[in-house]
């Protein structure tokens, strides 16, 4: 079949006869490879065995690998390595107290076997190398625009795909360079007792007898080929075999009976590699797995080196050829009941997988047949036989074998689908179009209804997991909190957060732990809260007095924002700002800019566009404005403290004291101090204001709630000798607290919690979350989940009457401030501001809407940003009931 894939003329082969023409009759014409993007970068400019152009260099490499690495003699000499590693593998499974992730264990086993065969020992950076190899394999299996539109290869640089390949290559290169140099140094001291493959290559390089001299880059490319080919394929084959055996218990029983019978007949009943030739049924299971779940459904592409005629059709020179081995292996003219898994089809079938039978070519055929068949198959057979001999097996969580997910992921090799489900992705932008919605949290909730509470999206080039249930949030913020406690590196926090030195976006590590600890001690302990109580009470009193003097309707949220700003100013600097309006405006502009779309956050290689559009410049101008105001305030405070000791130590004093003492693990710079102060201002001012405005909105729409809250407050205050609202009254105001808690559920200030990023690969509910995956927790969806909340779409404060759920991050159905290590450290301060201001507004005033508006007609639309606020601010007419006590 002829296809045009982009600009590339491609022939697709789907029958054994046609495959024979390509891989035998005309093998000399079709033995080269096309020049693809990933093999050029990861294969040291096509110097690996898999993608080297057909010619003398490739023939030399194949000869070396076949004679020096894959002969029967070499396999026998490395048998002890495979048996030792399988033994360790079995011991680790025996010690497991819970379910195991089989594919991961198998990948690690095969990686360790290959490492010892190649390097003589395991690599120092074993895990680092495993992760880099998996990332390289994933990237190589991805879509590369230059492979199909050669003249558009520059787009791969713009989109960042080349950059990701080069970063992965750099990581692999560093590890291999170090390992090779260690071997070179060791060879200078003494001749190795047992020559591993790297010693063979170094010896051949030193001897200088090769037709084409071997460079160090050539050696590294061959080593990478060995790792990628032998680890992934063997692991996937065994996992698929186990999957099918679990789905067919009679096959499992038959395989185990055979193995256990053979081993029981031995004087020393233990499984060894020499037992494998006697395990006929096991071998049939492996062969059927290679047919039914072929690791390479499309064999590595070939390219014609000259014009050729096949079955009467002309194949021009430089035509790409794809052999669809999956189609060949499922061809009903070659295989009876081709769509059934049936190992016994091989009982009297002489067909072999070594490339001579063109209806069974899982490893290819002809000159380009995989040179590592023997090693790969023996790894697969030994590990599968050992698993079946030593253990009986069942699925975790009581899952039924017939309900197993048999989906597969196509890449360099075919494997079980481990990523969470998600919608189809568009080229380049992925799922970005799905967030073009005024309320992204609502759009994501609609998607989660279809794809589930753990959903995979690709936002631009960024793999992103969306969490939409309490149980999944618990996994992220508690079970695996150590993995997901980092933040992604976004543009706005880099600029406005003084290169990620604020509490919210600092990378997880010693510096972040230090600033979080300082803020909790100085702002949120009972002692610190009590010491700043008078500030909150004085500022709320001034708010009430200013509202009392208003002759016109007031914009409530503006008054509240000013109130919270003044409170934070006095808590942090012990005084208000001289240029208060200027600082407030800069804070609001910074918050708005940070919430805007930053192209570099989703297309990292296009970050320069933000400079062209002026977005970077606007962020930098805002930072300059904020910085100049804070520099002056900090310097004023330093000068004051030199003259006299302040009557009360504010947050700036505390931070400067810690800086001067020089006792911190991570020294504090002035920029660090400013970044922490900005965090406190932005977090406390905006959130508290919005919560109170939404609470007032809901009570105006539900007058019975307003009346109930006011009655409670006025009764409690009237019982005091001095009837004024104080912070110590708040614990007695149960209904008011329920109103605030319900507002945090129904109108969360941050519906999508601040993004997290995985620091390493992790499994969540059976799904694989790769390292450096962005995670968004849709708290809005969790707070509206009917399985956790009765009538979730109704505003009902009384649901908290007998409900023990708290907002401090322990109950994952109710996490308005986050949870785990990254929970907001300023909850106590924010809630005190919110409850005191709301209580005072309800005590001192009765309220109605401006211009006679009907509360039922209130605009309830929201605007999504750093916080989710009411689009149309409340304009209210206050009626003073209780003046402020003097």
Q: What is the mean pLDDT of the chain?
A: 89
pLDDT, mean of residues 35-49: 89
Does pLDDT of 414 surpass 60?
A: no
Number of H helices, E strands in the chain: 33, 19
In whole angstroms, what separates CA 67 from the centre of its chain?
A: 43
Specify whether 382 is located in the same domain as 456: no
Specify whether 265 is located in the same domain as 335: yes
Q: Is 641 annotated as a binding residue?
A: no
Minimal CA–CA distance to 332: which of 12, 13, 15? 15
Residue 580 vs residue 319, higher pLDDT: 319
What percentage of the chain exceeds 70 in pLDDT? Answer: 96
| Cα-based angle 189, 191, 194 (whole degrees, multiple of 5) | 135
Amino acid 666: pLDDT:
85
Specify whether 377 is located in the same domain as 516: no
Amino acid 404: pLDDT:
65
pLDDT digits (tens, 9 = 90+) for 857-884: 888 989 887 788 889 999 999 999 999 8
Note whether residue 528 is domain-resident.
Answer: yes
Confidence of residue 499 (pLDDT cuts 50, 70, 90): very high
Note whether residue 429 is domain-resident.
Answer: no
* DSSP conformation letters of 377-392: HHHHHHHHHHHHHH--
Strands across the sheet with 845-849, in order?
554-555, 875-880, 845-849
Specify the number of domains making up the chain. Answer: 2
pLDDT digits (tens, 9 = 90+) for 523-574: 889 999 999 999 999 999 999 999 999 889 999 999 999 999 999 999 999 8
Q: Of 118-132, 259-273, 328-342, 434-448, where does mean pLDDT reach its minimum?
A: 118-132
Tell which of 359, 391, 423 closes a domain: 391
Does pLDDT of 819 surpass 90?
A: yes
Q: Are 829 and 684 in contact (CB under 8 A)?
A: yes
CA–CA separation, 885 vs 723, rounded Å?
7
Amino acid 417: pLDDT:
43
CA–CA separation, 674 vs 164, rounded Å?
34
Reading phi first (left if > 0) and then psi (alpha if -120 to 50, else beta), residue 397 is in left
Angle between helices 197-207 and 216-247 (to 10 degrees): 160
Does pLDDT of 713 surpass 90?
A: yes
Minimal CA–CA distance to 255: which of 268, 238, 267? 238
Confidence of residue 115 (pLDDT cuts 50, 70, 90): confident
Specify whether 250 is located in the same domain as 325: yes
Confidence of residue 825 (pLDDT cuts 50, 70, 90): very high
Does pLDDT of 95 surpass 90?
A: no
Specify whether 566 is located in the same domain as 672: yes
Q: Tell me, what CATH number does 650's domain have?
A: 1.10.630.10
Confidence of residue 405 (pLDDT cuts 50, 70, 90): low
Q: Which residues pair with 775 in a beta bridge?
A: 465, 756
Confidence of residue 834 (pLDDT cuts 50, 70, 90): very high
Q: Which two tokens stand for residue 610?
A: 């933000």
- What range defines the domain where residue 351 resides? 2-391
Specify whether 381 is located in the same domain as 503: no
Specify whether 373 is located in the same domain as 460: no
Note whether residue 706 is domain-resident.
Answer: yes
Q: Which two tokens stand for residue 679?
A: 């965090």
CA–CA separation, 530 vs 374, rounded Å?
74
pLDDT digits (tens, 9 = 90+) for 337-369: 999 999 999 998 999 999 999 999 999 999 999
Specify whether 739 is located in the same domain as 595: yes
* DSSP conformation letters of 758-809: -SS-EEETTEEE-TT-EEEEBHHHHHT-TTTSSSTTS--GGGGSS----TTT
Does pLDDT of 160 surpass 70?
A: no
Reading phi first (left if > 0) and then psi (alpha if -120 to 50, else beta), residue 614 is in left
Note whether residue 364 is domain-resident.
Answer: yes
Note whether residue 703 is domain-resident.
Answer: yes
CA–CA separation, 60 vs 66, rounded Å?
10
Is the sign of the CA dihedral 455, 459, 464, 469 positive or negative? negative
Specify whether 539 is located in the same domain as 677: yes
Does pLDDT of 372 surpass 70?
A: yes
Long-range contacts for 157-163 (Cβ within 8 Å, ≥24 apart)? Answer: 157/605, 158/605, 158/606, 159/428, 159/461, 159/603, 159/605, 159/606, 160/461, 160/603, 160/604, 160/605, 160/606, 161/37, 161/461, 162/37, 162/41, 163/604, 163/605
The reported pTM is: 0.64
CA distances (Å), origin 425, targets 94, 269, 429, 437: 41, 53, 8, 17
CA–CA separation, 464 vs 673, rounded Å?
32
* DSSP conformation letters of 529-551: HHHTHHHHHHHHHHHHHHHHT-S
DSSP state of 757: E
Note whether residue 428 is domain-resident.
Answer: no
Buried b (16+ CB within 10 A) or exposed e, 278-312: ebebbbbbbbbbbbbbbbbbbbbbbbbbeebebee
Specify whether 72 is located in the same domain as 176: yes
CA–CA separation, 385 vs 259, rounded Å?
7
CA–CA separation, 414 vs 687, rounded Å?
48
Strands across the sheet with 302-303, in order?
2-5, 8-13, 320-323, 302-303
475 Cβ contact list (under 8 Å, min separation 6): 764, 765
Specify whether 147 is located in the same domain as 56: yes
Specify whether 322 is located in the same domain as 236: yes
CA–CA separation, 440 vs 461, rounded Å?
18
Amino acid 412: pLDDT:
46
Tell which of 391, 414, 433 closes a domain: 391
Note whether residue 405 is domain-resident.
Answer: no
Amino acid 207: pLDDT:
84
Does pLDDT of 416 surpass 70?
A: no
Q: Are 691 and 743 in contact (CB under 8 A)?
A: yes
Note whether residue 147 is domain-resident.
Answer: yes
Does pLDDT of 161 surpass 70?
A: no
Amino acid 259: pLDDT:
96
Confidence of residue 143 (pLDDT cuts 50, 70, 90): low
């Amino acid at each position: 079949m002829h296809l045009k894939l982009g600009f590339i003329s491609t022939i697709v082969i789907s029958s054994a006869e046609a495959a024979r023409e390509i891989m035998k009759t005309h093998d000399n014409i079709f033995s080269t490879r096309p020049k693809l993007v990933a093999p050029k970068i990861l294969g040291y400019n096509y110097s690996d065995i898999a993608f080297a152009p057909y010619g003398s260099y490739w023939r030399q490499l194949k000869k070396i690998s076949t004679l020096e690495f894959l002969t029967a003699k070499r396999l026998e000499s490395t048998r002890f390595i495979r048996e030792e590693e399988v033994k360790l593998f079995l011991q680790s499974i025996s010690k497991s107290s819970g379910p195991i992730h089989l594919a991961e264990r198998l990948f690690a086993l095969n990686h360790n076997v290959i490492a010892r065969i190649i390097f003589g020992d395991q690599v120092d950076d074993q895990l680092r190398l495993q992760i880099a190899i998996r990332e390289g394999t994933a990237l190589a299996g991805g879509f590369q625009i230059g492979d199909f539109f050669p003249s558009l290869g520059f787009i791969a640089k713009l989109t960042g795909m080349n950059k990701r390949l080069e970063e992965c290559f750099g990581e692999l290169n560093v590890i291999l360079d170090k390992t090779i140099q260690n071997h070179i140094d060791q060879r200078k001291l003494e001749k190795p007792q047992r020559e591993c493959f790297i010693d063979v290559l170094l010896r051949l390089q030193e001897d200088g007898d090769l037709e084409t001299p071997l460079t160090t880059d050539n050696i590294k490319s061959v080593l990478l080929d060995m790792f990628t080919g032998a680890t992934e394929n063997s692991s996937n084959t065994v996992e698929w075999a186990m999957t099918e055996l679990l789905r067919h218990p009679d096959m499992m029983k038959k395989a185990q009976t055979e193995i256990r019978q053979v081993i029981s007949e031995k004087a020393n009943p233990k499984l060894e590699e020499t037992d494998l030739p006697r395990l006929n049924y096991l071998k049939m299971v492996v062969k059927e797995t290679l047919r039914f779940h072929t690791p390479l459904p499309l064999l590595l592409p070939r390219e014609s080196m000259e014009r050729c005629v096949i079955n009467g059709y002309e194949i021009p020179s430089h035509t790409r050829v794809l052999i669809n081995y999956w189609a060949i292996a499922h061809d009903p003219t070659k295989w009876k009941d081709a769509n059934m898994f049936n190992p016994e089809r091989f009982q009297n079938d002489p067909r072999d997988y070594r490339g001579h039978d063109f209806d069974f070519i899982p490893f290819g055929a002809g000159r380009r047949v995989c040179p590592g068949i023997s090693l790969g198959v023996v790894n697969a057979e030994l590990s599968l036989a050992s698993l079946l001999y030593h253990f009986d097996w069942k699925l975790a969580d009581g899952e039924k074998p017939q309900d197993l997910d048999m989906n597969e992921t196509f890449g360099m090799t075919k494997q079980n689908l481990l990523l969470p489900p998600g919608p189809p992705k568009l080229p380049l932008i992925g799922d970005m179009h799905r967030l073009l919605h005024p309320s992204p949290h609502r759009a994501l909730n609609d998607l989660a209804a279809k794809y589930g509470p753990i959903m995979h999206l690709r936002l631009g080039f960024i793999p992103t997991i969306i969490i939409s249930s309490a149980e999944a949030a618990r996994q992220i913020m508690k079970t695996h909190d150590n993995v997901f406690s980092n933040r992604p590196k976004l543009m706005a926090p880099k600029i406005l957060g003084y290169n990620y030195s604020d509490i919210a976006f600092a990378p997880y590590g010693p510096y972040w732990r230090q600033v979080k600890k300082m803020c909790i001690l100085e702002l949120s302990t009972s002692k610190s809260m009590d010491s700043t109580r008078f500030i909150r009470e004085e500022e709320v009193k001034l708010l009430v007095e200013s509202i009392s003097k208003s002759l016109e309707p007031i914009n409530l949220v503006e008054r509240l924002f000013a109130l919270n700003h003044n409170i934070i100013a006095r808590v942090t600097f012990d005084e208000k700002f001289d240029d208060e309006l200027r600082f407030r405006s800069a804070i609001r502009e910074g918050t708005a800019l940070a919430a805007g779309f930053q192209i570099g956050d989703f297309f990292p290689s296009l970050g320069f566009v933000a400079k062209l559009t002026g977005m970077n410049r606007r962020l930098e101008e805002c930072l300059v404005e904020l910085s100049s105001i804070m520099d002056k305030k900090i310097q004023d405070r330093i000068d004051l403290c030199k003259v006299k000791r302040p009557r009360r130590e504010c947050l700036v004093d505390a931070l400067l004291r810690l800086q001067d003492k020089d006792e911190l693990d991570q020294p504090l710079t002035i920029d660090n101090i400013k970044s922490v102060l900005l965090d406190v201002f932005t977090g406390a001012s905006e959130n508290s204001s919005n919560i109170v405005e939404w609470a007032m909105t809901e009570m105006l729409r539900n007058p019975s709630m307003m009346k109930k809250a006011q009655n409670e407050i006025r009764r409690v205050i009237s019982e005091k000798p001095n009837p004024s609202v104080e912070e110590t009254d708040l614990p007695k105001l149960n209904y008011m607290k329920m109103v605030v808690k319900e507002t945090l559920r129904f109108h969360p200030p941050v519906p999508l919690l601040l993004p997290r990023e995985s620091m390493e690969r992790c499994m969540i509910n059976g799904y694989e979350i790769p390292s450096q995956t962005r995670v968004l927790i849709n708290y809005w969806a969790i707070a509206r989940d009917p399985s956790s909340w009765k009538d979730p779409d109704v505003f009902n404060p009384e649901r908290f009457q007998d409900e023990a759920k708290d907002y401090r991050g322990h109950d994952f159905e109710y996490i308005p401030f986050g949870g785990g290590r990254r929970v907001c450290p300023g909850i106590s301060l924010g809630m005190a501001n919110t409850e005191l201001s709301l209580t005072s507004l309800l005590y001192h005033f009765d309220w109605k809407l401006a211009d006679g508006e009907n509360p039922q007609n209130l605009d309830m639309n929201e605007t999504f940003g750093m916080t989710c606020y009411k689009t149309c601010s409340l304009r209210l007419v206050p009626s003073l009931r209780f003046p402020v006590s003097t």
